[in-house]
Structure 1
Amino acid sequence: MPDASSQPARPKKRVRTLSHVPDGQTGQMRSVDRRAERAFRQQTRDCITGLEERLAMLTESAARREAELVAEVRAWRQQCQMLKRCLDSIVDIASGVDPAAEETENNDSSDSNHGDVDHNDNDSNSSNNVHHLVYSNTHREPSHAHDHSKPQSLDTGGPADAATPSHQPRPVHKSSLANHHTQLPSPAGTQPLIPSPASQWADHNTSNPGAYIYPISSTPFCAPAQPSSSSSFVPPNISRAKSAVSSILPQHLLPTCPLDRILLDFLKSRKDMIAEGVPMETILGPQKAIMTGLIDPSLAPSVHPVSRMLSEVLTTFPNVALPQKMGMFYKIYLTMRWQISPTTETYTQMPVWLRPTATQIAVPHAAWIDNLPWPGIRDLLIEYPEKYPFEIFSEYYSQNVTVNWHFDESDAVAHEDGNVVLHSIFEKHIRNLANWTVSHEFESRFPEMSHIIFARG
């Protein structure tokens, strides 16, 4: 074993004593110790206070975030319920059977014989025929919305082409049509919507107190009767679907800018005139947009109120060239006429790309957005209103949009009955969405919109 003397000696503990400290330094050392202890206690208190404040801040932030998430979930649930009601209404419109009649028929059928297998096969074939006709009618025009390489001709709103059926399709039940739900097209954000009846939207409007919705009649506007012919047969349920689509108006918020206030106040005044019994021809004015007041503002008081209002609004944009002004005038004129009188005629007069999308129908938004030419841009602005306020977007849009009219301005107009109207060639030109583009400055400011504006597929 190692010798104990070889192990290193442990250092002796130094005990702090004041026996060897002069009396003059004892008080000073005790004062230093007290200050050190006070500083340590103060540091501990400050740390605890800071942690408590941070905990309170995080707790408040978490509570606020939780409330926001709860409100967001509630809003999504309401929108989901609304879309379910909309889908049910689409099925009702497409089947041509109202729920009350369906319930009565179901009760009657429960007390009678259900028939044999051949009868069920005939019902299934009728359901397929009706579904095919509804699908081809409601999606014939949107299929051309993306074909921008060809100029769009004027839409006269005639009846949809349909093959001559061998017999009158019998009404189908909602359950029968629901069996083919995989074939029904889902409403895309940039495609015109087949919406629910106005009563469904009116119920939804009451749950959105911030929305500024003009009253919509619960009775769909019917299209003009067409001569009956064996070669041009249109089932009544398809006519009902078209008229129901044209009667559903976009949802508008309270005015968000001066342009909103002008448009909404004017629209409300026209609705009041309708309620007072003023003839619709007097309210709507001529079918063609009168450009007299736009070209010569001094003549604006002599034109119809709709044209006068639009002329006065567009004259406030001095940096916009006349072809662009006339294109904007034309778009707003058609939109305003349809919102005043939501009929099949006024609806089909609008180009397909100007008709409201599902987002415009379902989500309350600023009224000025309805007059933008690109459906995808309208949906984007509705989805992110705080990112694209009117003050910023309207300035870039008005100064950088173009209709690419490479001819003289005088070639864009014609004289008719003493009024200045759009030339038919220019009208056809601006009805082609491919002719509406923006400058590089707009693309630089809003690069996320370029692929929407210049999409050709």
Structure 2
Amino acid sequence: EEDQKCSEFLKAIIKADQANHSGHVLPPGAVEGFGNLPLSSAVKANHYPPAVQARRLLNMRTEEYRLPSFMTSDGSPLSNIFYNYRDAAMEMLSNGVPSYQVLGPQDQIDLELFFRDRQPGDAYDVHSWACELVKNIEGYDVFVQLASCALYATYMRMIRPTKHQRLMPHRMNIDLVPHPGIRDALINRFRDWLSPDMTDTGGTSVGWPYSIEAAVDICPLTGRRMLSRAFFEHATNAANWSLDKSIRALFPEIESMGFHIRD
């Protein structure tokens, strides 16, 4: 019965798409990711279940920034951490909580909860969520953890969903991988890398040549630990990220996707 409903829904969307396709062109800034096939035919040809096809058709033509990542919950603790915060943040915004209280500081990366546990009165914002999430992923180099905090807290271009993430259903933990090339490789052929009890088998590095003291500043007004501007600029430059050569055995295609391998 559910498949029948999805099929009917899909047919309705395809019909609307065909009608819309006949008299309209893509608006400026919109994306279409299905090659040179008519959109509805391309989606039907990929053999995903009807519900997934319907979701992809709903995403068929819109501004790229409006397309969310097509991730699915796998019930893991890591997945639950993400979805619990997302739901809480959406509820806070819908209840009128100012966006700056949900998104956190816009001019700096607050790292305080990376170095200590949460206390009563600590903000429940994106910065604190990023710190609490990243510090609990074992096996990462500390500078990769700090860099990941910066990417998650600011939604930098490196962490924004790729076309693969927007159009192909995948596990939520893939979205936590900092580099877009690795995320696409995992979507094409999943290899467990961030589940509990897994470590960073790729030896991820951001190539920071200085001490942790140079990466972290103390705010003179609040006394809270913040990411230094020098480290932020270094960590958000994709050219500074690299993997150990041992990753070739697990990800033989990763070099061709633009990731630097250390020999």
- Give the TM-score, by structure 1 length: 0.42
Seen in structure 2, the aligned counterparts of structure 1 residues 424 and 246 have a Cα distance that, compared at 3 Å, is same
1:91 maps onto 2:17 in alignment: no
TM-superposed deviation, 1:361: 1.2
Q: Is the partner of 1:438 in helix, strand or coil?
A: strand
How far off its partner does 1:300 sit? 5.9
Aligned twin of 2:214? 411
Q: Distance in 2 between matches of 1:90 and 1:420?
A: 52
Q: CA contact under 8 A between 2:138 and 2:199: conserved in structure 1?
A: no
User: Secondary structure of the equivalent of 2:165?
Assistant: helix
Measure how far apart 1:332 and its partner are: 2.1
Structure 1 unpaired stretches of 5+: 1-73, 95-133, 139-184, 190-203, 217-240, 336-349
Aligned match of 2:99: 280
Deviation per CA, 1:163-216: give whole Å up to 9, x if none.
xxxxxxxxxxxxxxxxxxxxxx97599xxxxxxxxxxxxxx99823998xxxx9
Partner in structure 2 of residue 440 of structure 1: 245
Task: Note the aligned Cα RMSD (angstroms).
Answer: 3.9
1:264·1:367 contact (CA, 8 Å) conserved in 2? no
1:209/1:260 Cα in 2 relative to 1: closer, same or farther (>3 Å)? Answer: farther
> Does 1:371 pair with 2:176?
yes
Compared CA separation, residues 210 and 380, structure 1 to 2 (3 A)? farther
Deviations 1:39-72 (A, max 9, x none): xxxxxxxxxxxxxxxxxxxxxxxxxxxxxxxxxx
In the alignment, the residues of structure 2 paired with residue 392 and residue 186 of structure 1 have an alpha-carbon distance, to the nearest angstrom, of: 32
SS at match of 2:217: strand
Amino acid in structure 2 at the alignment position of 1:436: W
Change (3 A) 1:187 1:434: farther
Amino acid in the other structure paired with 2:207: N
* 1:401 and 2:239 aligned: no
1:230 corresponding residue in structure 2: none
Match of 1:267 among 86, 96, 99: 86
Cα deviation, 1:250-297, whole Å, max 9, x if unaligned, reads 1221235321111011101111222222222222221232111212x1
1:395 and 1:320 mapped to 2: Cα distance? 10
Kindly indicate whether residue 177 of structure 2 is the aligned counterpart of residue 358 of structure 1: no
Letter in 1 for 2:95: E
| Residue of structure 2 aligned with 1:422, choices 221, 227, 235 | 227
Note the 1:298-313 alignment, pairs <5 A.
298=117, 303-305=122-124, 306-313=126-133
Q: Deviation of residue 309 (structure 1)?
A: 2.9
How far apart, CA to CA, are the structure 2 residues paired with 1:188 and 1:278? 39
Match of 1:454 among 257, 260, 263: 260
Larger helix percent: 1
CA distance in 1, matches of 2:50, 2:234: 41
Distance 1:425-1:207 versus aligned 2 partners, 3 A rule: same
Q: Deviations along 1:354-374, whole A, 9 cap, x unmatched?
A: 322211111222222223233
Q: 1:403-441 deviations in whole A, cap 9, x for unaligned? A: 110111110122223221111111111111111111123
CA contact (8 A) 2:71 2:170 kept: yes
Alignment of 1:278-357 (within 5 A): 278-287=97-106, 288-295=108-115, 297-298=116-117, 303-305=122-124, 306-335=126-155, 350-351=156-157, 353-357=158-162
- Asked whether 1:250 is paired with 2:69, we answer yes
| 1:396 CA drift (Å) | 4.6
**Inter-partner Cα distance in structure 1 for 2:260 and 2:165:** 21
- Separation in structure 1 between the aligned mates of residue 49 and residue 123 of structure 2, nearest angstrom: 32
Deviations 1:6-28 (A, max 9, x none): xxxxxxxxxxxxxxxxxxxxxxx
Distance 1:361 1:316 in 2: 26
CA distance in 2: counterparts of 1:277 and 1:205, whole angstroms:
38
Tell me the alpha carbon deviations over residues 102-157 of structure 1, each in whole angstroms, 9 at most, x when there is no partner: xxxxxxxxxxxxxxxxxxxxxxxxxxxxxxxx6xxx9xxxxxxxxxxxxxxxxxxx
Matched-pair contact (CA < 8 Å) for 1:397–1:442: no
Q: Which has the higher strand share?
A: 2
What are the superposed Cα offsets for residues 351-407 of structure 1, whole Å, 9 maximum, x if unpaired? 2x332221111122222222323323212212223xx13567983537611111011
Counterpart of 2:198, as a letter, is E
Could you say if the C-alpha distance between residues 443 and 293 of structure 1 is closer, same or farther in structure 2, counting changes exceeding 3 Å? Answer: same
User: How many pairs are equivalent?
Assistant: 226
**Is the CA contact (8 Å cut-off) linking 1:292 and 1:299 kept in structure 2?**
no
Cα-to-partner distance string for 1:318-352 (whole Å, 9 max, x where unaligned)? 543321110111122234xxxxxxxxxxxxxx22x
1:191-230 equivalences in 2 (<5 Å) = 207-208=51-52
Cα distance change of structure 1 residues 317 and 370 upon mapping to structure 2, 3 Å threshold: closer
Decide which structure has the larger Cα Rg and report it: 1
